[in-house]
Amino acid sequence: MSEITFIAGGATAAQGFSATGEHMGIRRNRTRRDVALIVSEVPANAACVYTQNLVKGAPILVTQKHVENGIAQAVICNSGNANTCNANGIEIAEGMCSLVEQYIGVKAEDVIVASTGVIGQPMTLEPFQKNFGKLADSLEDTPAGGTRAAEAIMTTDTVSKEVAVRFPLGGKTCKLGGIAKGSGMIAPNMATMLCFLTTDAAISPVALKRALTTVTADTFNMLSVDGDTSTNDMVSIMANGMAGNTPIEACMGTDYEAFVAALYKVCEKLCAIMAKDGEGATKLLVCEVTGAKSTATAKLVAKAVIKSTLLKAAIFGADANWGRVLCAIGYAGADVDVSKVDVNFRSNRGLIPVCRGGAGVAFSEETAKEILMDDEITVQVALNSGSATAKAWGCDLTYDYVKINGDYRT
């Protein structure tokens, strides 16, 4: 078996997890699932990272309190209403957790709660109270259950997002998977959307938190669709230990590094899926930076490139306007010698050099356009000043982004 293998499934890929999603009346559209539930057979060690927006949804505040002891056993999340800036927000979030205890038997204080949707929309517990039995009855430890959960957390997403891997750990086979939602209001500095991860690996709360924070810094914090950081962003992970590996206690060693590598693979894949599904997007935009003096410099440059509105528009139009890449590098605030910068555009259709030593080189506009017509574009930036690297994910900017956000509430 290879070290890390992608497998089918998401939230239910790991041993001991069940999930589901149903329409419970939060959304007016009865064909859309709007509440997701994920449950571990046993209490799990847990960790979360949260939005850096000063305006935080009530579910964030409740979850912070619940996960303070490093334990959780269930996740409940609704779409269609962010439960943010509501006078009764805490009451609603705590009520959702109490319903999990009533119907599933998981203690309310061991529930991670999340919401996504319109901010400032009135909300009541009534839809949950009326339909929670249906949600509880549909729980499954199957891929189908996980898919329903992934569908239930979607807002403007056009595809559900699920990823899972299998990997060896201490002589045992472990699995780690998750679901995510994110299409708009996504910007670096974390987390940038909703993501619920599950694993049957045994790992201490301290090591789990360090692993999640480390991986988030290199994945979800390097993702941007539109530069807006939401009020409800959260990434959570539950580790129930049912794979039976020797528990990882310290934030070091072979097993810890293997766990971090598996977690990175899942989160990296989810980043790419979310970026490609950005609101109105037609192309995934990736920036790979090499040769930086430091990781911080590499990250600043990569983020600046994928967040550039001008470059995003050029990518939409398949215009090899490499000057916009240099422009973004120039205002990134990074320690860069522009006279050393090389830039290539790459896709599955080929690679074309467009800049060497901070100056343009002759290239075929027709060939460049053909390369940029692909739906996955990589901007390769070589700073040629060191050995640090970074990667960031984004998407093109299209007419449809404005259409979607022009009437989002209605």
Q: Is the pLDDT of residue 187 over 80?
A: no
Q: Is the pLDDT of residue 1 over 50?
A: no
- Calculate mean pLDDT across residues 195-215: 97
For 395-408, b where at least 16 C-beta lie within 10 A, e where not — what string? Answer: bbbbeebeeebeee
Q: Side chain identity at 334, as an amino acid letter?
A: A
The confidence band for 370, taking pLDDT boundaries of 50, 70 and 90, is: very high
Percent of the chain with pLDDT over 70: 93
- Calculate mean pLDDT across residues 185-190: 49
**Higher pLDDT, residue 271 or 247:** 247
Q: What angle do CA 233, 235, 239 make, to 5 degrees?
A: 160
What is the model's pLDDT at position 42? 98
φ, ψ dihedrals at 101, nearest 5°: -65, -45
What is the model's pLDDT at position 407? 62
Which residues are catalytically annotated? 192
What is the model's pLDDT at position 231? 62
What is the model's pLDDT at position 336? 97
What residue ranges in 51-185 does DSSP mark as E strands?
Answer: 71-79, 111-116, 161-169, 172-181
**Higher pLDDT, residue 57 or 101:** 101
Terminal-to-terminal C-alpha distance of the chain: 50
Helices (H), 3-47: none
**pLDDT tens digits for 97-153?**
999 999 999 999 999 999 988 888 889 999 999 999 999 999 999 999 999 999 999
What is the model's pLDDT at position 112? 98
For residue 261, give Cα distances in angstroms to 88, 136, 309: 41, 34, 32
The confidence band for 72, taking pLDDT boundaries of 50, 70 and 90, is: very high
Measured in whole angstroms, how far is the alpha carbon of residue 130 from the centre of its chain? 31
Question: Can you read off the two tokens belonging to residue 148?
Answer: 């329903």
- Calculate mean pLDDT across residues 343-361: 98
**Integer Cα distance of 112 and 119 in angstroms:** 20
Average pLDDT, the chain: 91
Look up residue 277 and give its DSSP letter: T
Q: Is the pLDDT of residue 46 over 80?
A: yes
- Calculate mean pLDDT across residues 382-392: 98
* CB 99 within 8 Å of CB 129: yes
- Calculate mean pLDDT across residues 62-67: 97
Q: What angle do CA 58, 64, 65 make, to 5 degrees?
A: 95
Chain position carrying tokens 């894949």: 269
Q: Is the pLDDT of residue 351 over 50?
A: yes
